Amino acid sequence: MLGISAILEIKLGTEGLQLMAEISELEDVELLESILTGIKTLDTSEQLRQIYHNVEAGVER
């Protein structure tokens, strides 16, 4: 989680850190790995939400 938090802060600033409240509730390791991988290419917080909502819904990225 600390890695995700650090990258979000670098990429999205305060907005990224605010997303950690949602992300910290996730327990699925594969989902967290998808988030960590997806962070590399995102530009907005909405793009990040799409990553984990799509994975939770079973939609491929």
pTM: 0.74
pLDDT digits (tens, 9 = 90+) for 2-50: 899 999 999 999 998 898 988 999 898 988 998 898 888 888 989 988 8
C-alpha distances (whole Å) from 28 to each of 11, 13, 18, 35 are 23, 25, 20, 11
Q: Taking the mean position of all CA atoms in its chain, how far away is CA 8?
A: 8
Where along the chain do its domains lie? 2-57
Q: How far is Cα 27 from Cα 12, in angstroms, rounded to an integer?
A: 23
What CA–CA distance (Å, rounded) separates 60 from 9? 26
